[in-house]
Chain A
Amino acid sequence: MATTVSMIPKIRDGLRATFRSGMTRPIAWRQHQLYQLARMAQNERELICDALKKDLGKPRTEVLMAEVGSIIERAVKSAQQLPEWAKTEYPEVADWQKPWKPTLYKAPRGTVLIVSPWNYPMILSFQPLIGAIAAGCTAVLKPSELVPTFSQLLAEIVPKYLDPNTYRVVNGAVPEISKLLELQWDHIFYTGNGRVARIIASAAAKHLTPLTLELGGKSPVIIDSAYDHDLAAKRILWGKCNNAGQICVAPDYVLVQRDKQDELVRAFQKHYNAFFPEGALDSPSFGSIVSDSHHKRLTSLLSRTKGDVVLQGRADAARRRLEPTIVKNVAGGDSLLEEELFGPILPIVPVDSLDQAVDFVNARSHPLVLYAFSDKESVKQQLVSETQSGGIVFNDTFQQLAVHELPFAGVGESGYGYQVMKYTYDTFTQLRSSIDMPKEAEPYLAIRYPPHSEEAVKALTAAVYTPIPPSRQ
C-alpha cells in the first residue's frame, strides 16, 4: 500500500521538525532506538522470513544467516560503540595552535533518505538506517516495491519499535519516489543500479545533497592456474548460489587459464551435485528470481550466448525458478558479458595468462569487488596495484560481507560512499570543525593587522622560504 504522495512533504517536514527539536541528540536516546531495531529484527524474524519467502522465494536460512542476524548484531554493537564514535575529538596540532583548542564535533547531518533494493531488503534497508540512527539523524526509509509483502510488513512493524516522529517508512513506486526526490534531504543513501543512481544523483544535484551510491557491476573472478581449482569452484559456486546470484557482490564471471578450464568445469559440476543432490529447481536451499521480467531477461541472455553450456539449469517461468547454469568458452562480446548478470548464470572466460586476465578486467568498468584465487604474493601484489575495484577479495567470495571492520564501497561505476558499522556512522555524520581563540592571544595576533611593518611581513611570510628537501625524478 503506497504512501499518499501529498503526505510525503509533510512527512519530511515533520522529520525536520523532530531533528530541530534536538530529540535525537542524546546518546542514550539513540542507543535505545538501536536496541529497539535489534528487538524488532529478533522478535519479528519469522514474519520477515515469511515475507521474503513469499516475495523472493528466499530460503529461510539465507534470510536468517545473511540478513536478520547481521542487523541484530550490528545494531547492538553500534549502540555499544556509539559513545566512542560520538566523542568530540581534539586533534593533535602544532604548539603554536594548541591554545586555539582545535575541536571536531560529530554533528548529525540532519534529515536523510534511504532507498533500498529488493534483493537483500532486510540488511540493505537497516544497515544504512543503523548508521543514520547512530549519527542522530531523522530518516525516511523507502523499501523496494518489488518486495511488496516485505515493504508492507515494514510499514507495520517499524512504527511499533522505532519512534515514528523520527523514522518513517514510505512505500510506493515511481510517483512516490519522484516526490521524495523533489524534496531536499541532508543525505541520500541509495543502493541499487547505475541507471536509477543517475536519476537520483541528478535530483540530488538540484539541492546540493550529498550522496552515497552503492551500486554493482560485473564482479570478476580471476583464478591463478596454480591454485586448487576444486576449492575455488566450491567457494565460487557458493557465492553465486546465494539468493540465486541476485546480489551486488555475486561473482559474475570467471577468468581461468585455458588449459585448466575443463578441470574447473568438472569441479563446478561436482560441487553443484553436493549442494543440490536433487537439483536446485525445487531445493529449499535455493532462491527464486525476483520477477517475471528478470526471469525472462536471464533466459534470453542464455539463449543468445555463443559459449558452450556445460551445466544446463532447468527453468520454470511460472514459479520464477532458474537453476544455476554454467557456460564455458565465453569470449568478449558475448551476451553474458553485456551487463551485470544478477542471476544464477556463470560464464567462464578462458585466458592465456594472468596479464590477459588483468587486461580483460581493466578494459571494463570498475567492479564493486574483484575476486581472485591465488596463494602467490606476486599475484596478489600485481592485482592490488594494477586493478581498481570497490574491494578486493582473495580466495573466497561473499564472505567479506561478514568483515564489518572493512569499509564497503564501490568506485567508478560501482558507486561511492562507505558503509558498515563506523563507516555508516561517518557517512551520516558531519565533522564540524571548531577553534576557540583566547583573548590572551591578542598580543601574538597583533602583527597580522594592517598596517604591516617590514618585520611583521618577514615574520608572517617566513613559511614561503622554508627549505625544501632535495629530490630527483
Chain B
Amino acid sequence: MSSLNYTSKEQIKEENADALKASLKADLGRYPFEATLPELGPMVSSALHAAENLETWSSPEKPQVEAWRSGWDTTIFKAPKGTVVNISPWNFPWVLTILPLISAIATGCTCLIKPSEHAQASAALIAELIPKYLDPDAYAVCLGAVEEATYVLSLKWDHIFYTGSEKVGRIVAEAAAKQLTPVTLELGGQSPVFVDGDSTNIEIAAKRILWGKQQNAGQVCVAPNHVFVQEQYQSALVEAFRKAYDSFWPNGPLDSSSEMARVVNVHHYERNKSLLSSTKGKVAFGGQAGQDLRIEPAIVTGVTMKDPLMGEEIFGPILPIIPVADVDAAISHIQLSPTPLVIYVFTENEEIKNKFVQRTQSGQLILNETFAQVAVYEIPFGGQGESGYGSYLGKYSFDTFTHQRGYINVPADEGTEGFMQGRYPPYSAPALEFFSQALKTKIPDA
C-alpha cells in the first residue's frame, strides 16, 4: 500500500513541476533553480528512497538474545503509531510539508497535513493536488491559520510533527502534553559560523557561507546566522565575501536578471530593514532594500553579541561578522547562547575541530560547508535544546512515526516450565539461589 502512494507523490511533482514552481514564485519570489534544488528534487528522491528501503525498514527485527531465552522468538515489530499530523512552515512550504508526509505513508500511518497560511499559493496547490494523487481517506490537508491550527492541536494524535519557531514550538508541546502525544519539534535558532583564518581557505569559506546564507534570502532554519572570525582576519573575510557576492550577482542582487529570493512579507521586510538601520556594526556592503520585498544580502562588520542583530534568529539576508580574539572566545559565546540547530566550522585544524565536538552542543556540526548536509539522508536532521528534538530524513523519518513493539512467545513445554518453576511462590531459598546469579555478577576492578 505504501509504495503505491509514493509513486503517486512523485507523480505529483513531475507532472506538476511547473505549477509547483509557480506557487513558490508567488509566495517567496523563488527562481526556478531554487524551487527545484532544495524542494522538488528532494521530494522526489525522498519518496523513491523510502519506497526502495521500505521493506528493510519495516521488517520485524529478531535481536540476538542470551541462550536461556533463545526459544522465545524475541521480535521487534515496526508498528505504525497511528494517525499523525504535520504542521509545516512557510519558508520551504513544499519540501517541509511533503517529507514528513512521505514517512507517514511509509510507516503505514494516516496523516493530516497543515501547510502554512503565509505561503498561500503553495498551500492552495497542495490542497488541490494531494487528493488527486493520494487516497483521501488516508491523507488529508487542512488549510487555515491560527484558529484552525489551534483546533488541530486540541485533538488527540499519535504523533505531532512541527517545523517552525521556538515560540510556537512551546505552544505545540503544551497542547501535546494534555494528550500525552509524542512530538517532533524542528525549530531553528541562531546557527553560528566559526572561520578559522589561520588554517582555512578564506575564499572558499566565504563562497560556501554566502551560498548558504542567500538560500531563500536567509529564511532557512539552517541558514548561517552570524560569523565569528579572529579579529586579524575580518577584513580578509569581508574581501572574500565581496568577491563571492560579485560573482553570484554581477549586476547586483536586486537586478531583474539576478537569482535572489525575496523576503516573505511586509512584516519581515520591515523587520530586516529595521535591523540594518539599528545595528551598531558597520554595513560593509549590500543591504539595499528594493521593491518587491527584495533586500540585498548585507555583510555587517564589527558586530558584538549585544547588538540588535544578535537579539534573535535573523531569518533574513543579513550576515553579521563578530570578530573574536580566538576560537576559545567564539566557543565561549556559543556556550552561553541557546543551543543552535547547526554549528558551522571552517577549519583544517584537528584540534579546533575537536574543541567544537567536545565543548559545544548543537543539532548538527558541519565542517567547511553550509546547507549541503540536508542532502545526506543517512544522517539525522534535528535539533538539540532550544533548537528542538526528534529528527528525520531517511530511516530517521521512518522511525519517527513507528513504534518499536517488543514481542516474545514463551513456550508451554515442560522444559521451560520446569526451568522457571522456582519463580512461583512460595519463594524458597534454593529458588532464590537459582535466580540470583545476577546478584553475584563479578564486577571488574575499574
Residues of A within 8 A of B (CB): 20, 22, 25, 28, 31-32, 35, 38-39, 42, 45, 59, 61-62, 64-65, 68-70, 72-73, 76, 79, 91-93, 97, 100, 102-105, 107, 109-110, 186, 194, 197-198, 201-202, 204-206, 208, 210, 213, 215, 227-228, 231, 234-235, 238, 241, 274-277, 283-286, 375, 380, 384, 388-396, 399-400, 402-403, 405-409, 411-413, 415-418, 430-439, 442, 445, 448-452, 456-457, 460-461, 463-466, 468-473
Contacts and interface: CB of A to CB of B under 8 A. Distances in A.
Identify the interface centre among A205, A402, A407, A449: most chain B CB within 10 Å of its CB: A205
Contacts of A448: 37, 211
Contact of A408 (B260, B373, B406): B406
9 contacts: A64-B439, A79-B446, A204-B173, A231-B417, A276-B426, A432-B362, A434-B367, A457-B33, A468-B10
Contact of B64 (A45, A73, A405, A464): A405
Interface residues of B, number: 116
Contacts of B65: 403, 405
Contact of A435 (B40, B376, B435): B376
A32 B365 CA distance: 29
Contacts of A100: 369, 372, 376
Contacts of B207: 442, 449
A30 B426 CA distance: 40
A461 B41 contact: yes
A241 B424 CA distance: 9
B45 A208 contact: no
A91 B365 contact: no
B427 A228 contact: no
Given A72-B438, A434-B364, A31 B446 contact: yes
Contacts of B3: 471
B14 A432 contact: no
A197 B179 CA distance: 10
Query: Which of A45, A61, A389, A413 has the most chain B CB within a 10 Å cutoff?
Result: A61
A283 B426 contact: yes
A432 B364 contact: yes
A328 to B, nearest CB: 23
B410 interface: yes
Chain A CB within 10 A, most for which of B44, B169, B248, B427: B427
A285 B427 contact: yes
Interface in B348-405: 357-359, 361-369, 372-373, 375-376, 378-381, 384-386, 388-391, 403-405
B421 to A, nearest CB: 10
Nearest to A206: B170
A107 B76 contact: no
Pairs of residues from A and B, 7 with the lowest C-beta to C-beta distance, nearest first: A69-B438, A201-B177, A205-B173, A437-B369, A433-B379, A406-B406, A285-B425
B180 A413 contact: yes
Contacts of A431: 380, 391
A110 B361 contact: yes
A416 B84 CA distance: 15
B385 A452 contact: no
Contacts of B367: 434-437
Contacts of B158: 411-412
Nearest to A76: B441
B166 interface: yes
